[in-house]
A and B are shown apart, each in its own frame.
Chain A
Amino acid sequence: METIDRLKEAMVEGDEDACAVLAAELVAEGADLKASIAVLAAEMEEVGRRFETMDIFLPEVLLAADAMTAVMKVFTPELAKDATVAKKGVVVVGTARGDMHQIGKDLVALFLGIAGFEVVDLGTDVDALDFIHEAERANADVIGISSLMTTTMPGATEVVALLKDKGMRDRFKVIVGGAPTSQEWADKIGADGWAEESGGAIDVVKELISGRA
């Protein structure tokens, strides 16, 4: 079996150690790392699909994602030598102030990460201004806010308002989501994007980031 196939298998099985070893082998073999990443990313998409149909569950996805991270740790210093590799973008995510519902946000963060974005997870119950400070610190492209309760939807509104007040509205794209939210509400508060579930969140972020490039 080719090294890349063994690596693919180890990643799906979530075997971090084997992944690190096999990734180093690929580097030593002088393999095309960008092509290898494309193969692994396609396989991760398949993992996502199997999760979507509940043939596998979150722990399997998390293990595979961690294994993929182990591969990237080995690849990144090599890729840094290649100026043609562009970074995909940075997304800061968290739940709005007062909101302790975290699974939806966890899934959005996980799948954005799998899709290749750098994700900074601020956790739950995040103050509106902290979203902005952390986005500045991470030099983020997008701020993602999760509101699971009508009572925490104003927390998302506040982020947009503060960005305006600080004269920084153009600096970050803002996306919102969560069970009680809707596209109409997102439009009303002046957010840049909304999605019903994590799959949609990836599309929205891709669109927003390519739109600004």
Chain B
Amino acid sequence: MAYRQWEIMERAATGPFMEEKDFLNKRITAKMREVIKKYGVKFDPAHPVPADDAMADAVWQAAWEFFRDVGVYNQDTHRIMEFSEEEMREALYCAPSSHTVGLGKDSRVFGHRTVEDPRPPFVIFSPDITYDEVDFFQACVAYLKEPLLDAICSPLLEDFQGRAIQSKTPFEIGGSMEHAMHLRSAARLMGVPGVCMIAVGTAETDVAQVAVSQPDWGIRPSDGRLVSSITEMMTNNAMLNKAAHYQMYGSFSGNLTGTIYGAYAGGAEGTAIMQTAYHLMGLLTYGCQFQQNFLFHLKYGSNTGREMLWVVSMYSQAVARNTHLVQDSNGFTNAGPGTDMLFYEAAAHAMTSTVSGANLWETAPARNKHHNHGTPLEARFAAEVGHAVARQGMKRERADEIVNALLAKYEENIPDAPIGQTFQELYDVAKAVPKPEYLDLYKKVKEEVGAMGVEFIY
């Protein structure tokens, strides 16, 4: 059974009352300031990939105390779900360190990694962006063709049968079913019928998620699901509904969390501590099997800047060193597809995450907000970088040097990053393969990044 599910769900109704504004503006802010100071957490701009075990452990301790004293706010009941240290220890001890996801020959092990782990990361491929309905199927096919794909969290739909999907209406349910059915058929046609789908992104509501739980044509227990937490440290009844449904249906549930750098958590230190604390939140509040980390910069909506990579590295190391939980790191780039900047950013994100103990979720291009702007090729590149640096046993110090060299290539261009081109412009959609020009760009950058010290396997 999911960790003390019903005892915990009950706290949404029985926990202490607080106004949401006070929870965010007072409880979170005050405690975060206190733990940053108490544990001496400090951002070091010179080292985006810090080789600092003591700092990683300080981040973990700060996150532990923060979560213990802050709890999780339920926006519907206006009450705080609180957890004792004993529960935190018990839940952590009892959590599995790996899961076999997917079915049959297509199943894979999605597990905990350690800092500088020579085992390659588990890679989830996803553009995390909406596509035209007419191209949705081929976009799924293009992703499913990727050899390094361990799981897929495909494109999203904006329309269902030619009509705009509206949240909380039957069109959302229809669109969510279409999403699941297409993805399932595409997987079979590509010869990976049992592949783990982390789905369905088009299903925004709890109702739509329940509607796609159907092993014949939809989501199976062997697949993954996502339940969000609301920044920062908040939930609501719809999220708790999703969480309970996933556990009882039997899917692998991931806590979808993106601390916003510059918002309620403050700067790099607070963002790293908050993102670490979300691992505890997912485990205790939702009974999650893994943690989906997509923190981003308030202004840029990306996580490949210097301060963001430091945060990615720090929370990944904190969790990798102090728990056996399963985590992944979701790259959000500034630049869009078809640009060399996107490849540099994807390489920096994948390398930082991999040596710091994370699995990969790649890649959300162009600040994650431009329709059709995402292709499998940038995700492939990130996956190849992740596999390479793990297999070559790259240490944090070396990754830090290379990431600094990569940053030198794009850091200045972050504010005005190009949004690039669409999937339709860069891919032969009918064949679901990249056009030669885009492949050439990928090969050129791969050579360049190889020369910087990444020993690509092929």
Contact surface of A with B, Cβ cutoff 8 Å: 51-52, 54, 57-59, 62-63, 66, 97-100, 102-103, 123-124, 149-155, 179-180
The residues of B that contact A98 with a CB separation of less than 8 Å are 166-168, 172, 204-205
Contact of A150 with B164 at beta-carbon distance under 8 Å, contacts A57-B262, A100-B236, A102-B230 already known: yes
Chain-A contact segment, one of B4-12, B263-271, B320-328, B330-338: B263-271
Q: Which residue of A lies closest to B307 (CB)?
A: A54
B312 to chain A, nearest CB (A): 17
- Whether B260 sits at the interface, judged by CB under 8 Å, is yes
Judged by a CB distance under 8 angstroms, whether B409 is at the interface is: no
In chain B, positions 215-267 with a C-beta closer than 8 Å to chain A are 228, 230-231, 236, 238, 260, 262-264, 266-267
| Interface members, chain B 264-293 (any A CB < 8 Å) | 264, 266-267, 270
Q: Are A179 and B158 in contact (CB under 8 A)?
A: no
Q: Given A66-B25, A100-B230: A58 and B172 within 8 A (CB)?
A: no
Indicate if the CB atoms of A103 and B164 lie closer than 8 Å: no
A-B contact count (CB 8 A): 72
Q: Tell me if B165 is interfacial: C-beta within 8 Å of chain A.
A: yes
Nearest 8 CB-CB pairs, A to B?
Answer: A98-B167, A151-B167, A59-B29, A154-B166, A98-B168, A150-B158, A57-B266, A179-B369
Q: Are B266 and A151 in contact (CB under 8 A)?
A: no
**Measured between C-beta atoms, what is the minimum distance from B200 to chain A in Å?**
13
* Given A59-B33, A124-B75; 7 other pairs, CB 8 A cutoff: A54-B262, A57-B263, A57-B266, A58-B264, A59-B32, A62-B29, A98-B205
B394 CB to closest chain A CB, in angstroms? 31
> Helix, strand, loop or mixed for chain B's interface?
loop
Contact (Cβ within 8 A) A155 B369: no
Please give, as numbers and ranges, the residues of chain B lying within 8 Å of A66 by CB-CB distance. 25
User: Is B452 located at the chain interface by the 8 A CB criterion?
Assistant: no
CB of B134 within 8 A of chain A? no
In the assembled complex, the Cα of A135 lies from the Cα of B322 at a distance in Å of 50
A150 surroundings in chain B (CB, below 8 A): 130, 158, 164-165
Residues of B within 8 A of A100 (CB): 228, 230, 236, 238
B365-377 vs A: 1/0 string, CB under 8 Å? 0000101000000
Residues of A within 8 A of B32 (CB): 59
A66–B29 alpha-carbon span in the complex (Å): 13
Do residues B298 and A151 form an inter-chain contact, with CB atoms below 8 A? no
Choose among B165, B264, B369 the residue that contacts A180 (Cβ–Cβ < 8 A).
B369
A128 to B346, CA, bound (A): 40
- Judging by beta carbons under 8 Å apart, are A97 and B167 in contact? yes
Taking a contact as CB atoms under 8 Å apart, the answer to whether B158 and A151 are in contact is yes
CA distance A150 to B266 in the complex (A): 29
Q: B232's closest neighbor in chain A, by CB?
A: A103
Q: Given A103-B231, A179-B369, check contact A154 B164 (CB 8 Å).
A: yes
Separation of A155 and B165 alpha carbons in the complex (Å): 11
- Report A-chain residues with C-beta under 8 Å of the C-beta of B42: none
Query: B132-175: which residues lie under 8 A (CB-CB) from chain A?
Result: 158, 164-168, 172
B166 touches A151 (CB 8 A): yes
Q: Give me 18 A-to-B residue pairs in the complex whose CB atoms sit less than 8 angstroms apart, sorted by A's number.
A: A57-B270, A58-B263, A58-B298, A59-B32, A59-B264, A97-B167, A97-B168, A98-B205, A99-B167, A100-B236, A102-B230, A103-B231, A124-B75, A149-B167, A151-B158, A151-B165, A153-B164, A155-B167
